[in-house]
Each structure stands twice: as C-alpha cells, then as structure tokens.
Amino acid sequence: MRFLSPLLFLTALAGPALAEPPLLVEIVTAEQSSPTRDYTLVGIVEAQNSYPASFRSGGLITDIFADVGDHVAAGAEIARLDATTAQAQRDAAQATLEAVAARLKQAEQSRDRVEASLSRGTATQADLDEAVQSFLSAQSSYRQAQTQLDKAQQGLDDTTLHAIEDVIVTERNAEPGEIVGAGASILELATDGRLDAKFYVPDIGNLNSVIGLPVAITPIDGGETIIAFVAEVSPVVSVAGTVEMTAHLPNDTDLPLGGLVEARVTLDSDPVITLPADALFVTANGPAVWVVDPATMTVSPRAITVASYREAEIAISGGITAGEQIVGAGSQVLYAGREVYTEAQK
C-alpha cells in the first residue's frame, strides 16, 4: 500500500476544496451614445451693443435732451455743455485768421509788385528776396491761424453730444447743472432694435456645438415666441458652475430691456458609455468595473473615468470601449481571474 507524504496529502485535499464553480452574474455590453438633455432656461433681454456717451472736454452741463427708455434718432442732439468759453475762443481764432489773411494778401501783392519792378529794372534782387520772405512768413502765420481756428471750432463742437446711430437710452448718469470731466459717462446708449437674450446653462461638454442654432424664446409674462440664434458661449465658468450663453434676437424685436424670457434648449453631451450602477466598484486607485474575457469567461478589473452618476446608472467617458462585456449585478463579489456565467449560459 502506497502512502502520500504529508505535504502531498494536504495538497490533494486542498485542491478540490479551493476550486470554485463559475459565478452567476449579469453581463452587459458596453454601448456608446450621445445623450441629450432638455433644459428650460430663464434669461434677460440686454442690448446687443451698448456704450457710454461722454464729452471730449469737461464743463458745466446745461441740457440733457434724453431720458432712460427714450429712442433717439441718428444725428439728434442728446446733451449740451455751457459753450460760453468755447464760443469766445472760436470767435477770437476767427478774428485772428481774418487779420492774418489780410496781411497775407498784402504780402502777396507786395511780392507781385517787386517782381514786376525787377523785370523793368527798377528793383533789385535783394528787394525781391525780402518781399518773398515776407510773403512766406505771412503764409506760415495763416496756416497756424487756420489750425487754431480748426481746434477752436472742434472745442465748440465738442460742447454738444449727438447720437451717431439710432439708439435707446439705457441709463442716465448726470443731470443739468453738474460739472463733469472729459470722458465722464453722461448717458448709456444701446443700438436701437438690436437685442440679445442671455442665459446661464449647465457646464456640460460640447456646448460650442449650439452656436448658430435656433432657440425658441418666449416672454416670461406671455407673448409670441421668437426664434433667436445662439451667437456666443462664454469660455468662462461661473462660481455656480454655469456658462453664459448669448442669443441674438431678430432686429426690431419689441421686447423691453431687462425683460425676462424663457427658452427651451436641447443640448447634446459628449459621447459616453452608460452602464448599470451595479457595475461600479472602487479600488485604491479610484472607480473601476469588471471586464469579461469572452474566450475564458474570466474577469479582470479596469479603471474608468466617470462622467456622471445617476440614480440607477453611471455614464463613463474613458477606460472602456463600445462592445466590451462588463459585469453588472454581482460585481461586488468578484476578484481577478474569477470565472463567471449568465442565465443564458445555464
């Protein structure tokens, strides 16, 4: 009779005891999709193009001809400064120019007479040189006087503000009787009839794909639906985790500045793989799933990048590819190399 050594005897006993049968689990196929989400957004109507109206030079405001909400036609006067000093400077410059112009005329006539005398032999070249020099000096003085008049006229013109286009007044920052400095905002203006609707949307992937797409916008207190087009998505994320989206409203849209509007937007997300929440487990290195080898029906762990967590599923943006077999229910009792099977393989 042959006896086994103690070590071989223990090994023979341990082998059958440690061998585990395949474990029944749920296996799902990873499928990629680009989920869409519908959002109802509340935004505000703002001017598409707004800017301050200010005087080039400071002074005392005598008149402001527009108030908040007024529509002002291109070329219309909207504000005026006290022009007493500017008018006096302009009048003085005009008088100086007229005097210099008279001297220039006299110098020109003198030069012409000396030229004629020189041709008759009754004047010398030195006389002509002196007359020409006087004429050139008078001519230079005339140019300087003309420049001074132009500057004085500009100073007088700068005491009035005119609308450079059809505008609407959105803010009034000064009143008649105030003394303001150069460049100080008197009124805030916006291009009339060109409005934007601005919304804050969740910071999800692929937001830039909505630029140029139509958005249906409705006044929040009721009214006709307006079709606008997304013009810009801000690259900056707010503290609240949202992104500003701007839609251009049609020209001459009859909506008040600051009015609230509502929009329904369908946004596409970046492609993800969605799996049951049961598939997820956590390792020391982060979230992972069990990937099944179809040839051996054994599992191995795979680290993943989770895009979002939902109540019954997870969206995965990296780590696995479409078509791979993943363990769903039953994943919590597995280890690397464990053999598995499904109900369909019984």
For position 26, which CATH number holds?
2.40.420.20
- Token pair for residue 244? 């500003």
The reply to whether 16 falls in a domain is: no
* Tens digits of residue pLDDT in 196-231: 999 988 776 667 777 888 888 999 888 888 888 888
**CATH number of the CATH domain containing 182:** 2.40.50.100
My answer on whether 213 and 168 are in the same domain is no
Beta 340-341 vs 23-24: how paired, if at all? parallel
Under DSSP, the state recorded for 5 is -
- DSSP notation for 152-185: HHHHHHTTEEE-SSSEEEEEE---TT-EE-TT-E
My answer on whether 276 and 324 are in the same domain is yes
pLDDT tens, residue order, the chain (346 aa): 333 334 333 333 334 445 688 999 899 999 888 777 777 888 999 888 889 999 998 899 999 999 998 999 999 999 999 999 999 999 999 999 999 999 999 999 999 999 999 899 888 999 999 999 999 999 999 999 999 999 999 999 999 999 999 999 989 999 999 999 999 999 999 888 888 999 988 776 667 777 888 888 999 888 888 888 888 888 888 877 888 889 999 887 888 888 899 988 776 667 888 899 888 998 888 999 999 999 999 999 999 999 888 788 888 889 999 899 999 988 888 999 999 988 877 6
- Token pair for residue 103? 């001297």
My answer on whether 66 and 180 are in the same domain is yes
The reply to whether 4 falls in a domain is: no
My answer on whether 277 and 341 are in the same domain is yes
User: What pLDDT shows up at residue 215?
Assistant: 87
User: What pLDDT shows up at residue 77?
Assistant: 96
3 state SS of 16: helix
Q: What is the pTM of this model?
A: 0.55
CA distances from 327 to 199, 241, 295, 297 (A): 41, 34, 15, 11
The reply to whether 56 falls in a domain is: yes
User: For the chain, how big is the Rg over CA atoms in Å?
Assistant: 42
User: What pLDDT shows up at residue 299?
Assistant: 93
My answer on whether 92 and 139 are in the same domain is yes
- DSSP notation for 219-266: ETTS---EEEEEEEEEEEEPTTSEEEEEEEPPTT----TT-EEEEEEE
**CATH number of the CATH domain containing 100:** 1.10.287
Could you tell me which of 286, 311, 318 has the C-alpha nearest to residue 205?
318
Q: Are 57 and 155 in contact (CB under 8 A)?
A: yes
My answer on whether 75 and 124 are in the same domain is no
**Separation of alpha carbons 261 and 196, rounded Å:** 11
The reply to whether 5 falls in a domain is: no
My answer on whether 245 and 293 are in the same domain is no
**CATH number of the CATH domain containing 200:** 2.40.30.170
Range of the domain at 211: 37-48+192-268
Q: Which residues, 6+ apart, have CB-to-CB distance to 174 below 8 Å?
A: 61, 64, 180, 184, 185, 186, 187
My answer on whether 341 and 285 are in the same domain is yes
The reply to whether 233 falls in a domain is: yes
Last residue of a domain, one of 213, 235, 268: 268
My answer on whether 175 and 69 are in the same domain is yes
Helix, strand, coil share of the chain (percent; to 5): 30, 40, 35
The reply to whether 2 falls in a domain is: no
The reply to whether 327 falls in a domain is: yes
* Tens digits of residue pLDDT in 93-106: 999 999 999 999 99
Domain count across the chain = 4
User: What pLDDT shows up at residue 78?
Assistant: 95
* Tens digits of residue pLDDT in 115-147: 999 899 888 999 999 999 999 999 999 999 999
My answer on whether 284 and 333 are in the same domain is yes
Last residue of a domain, one of 234, 252, 268: 268
My answer on whether 170 and 287 are in the same domain is no
Last residue of a domain, one of 134, 157, 180: 157
Segment holding 42, helix H or strand E:
strand 36-47
The reply to whether 257 falls in a domain is: yes
My answer on whether 130 and 141 are in the same domain is yes
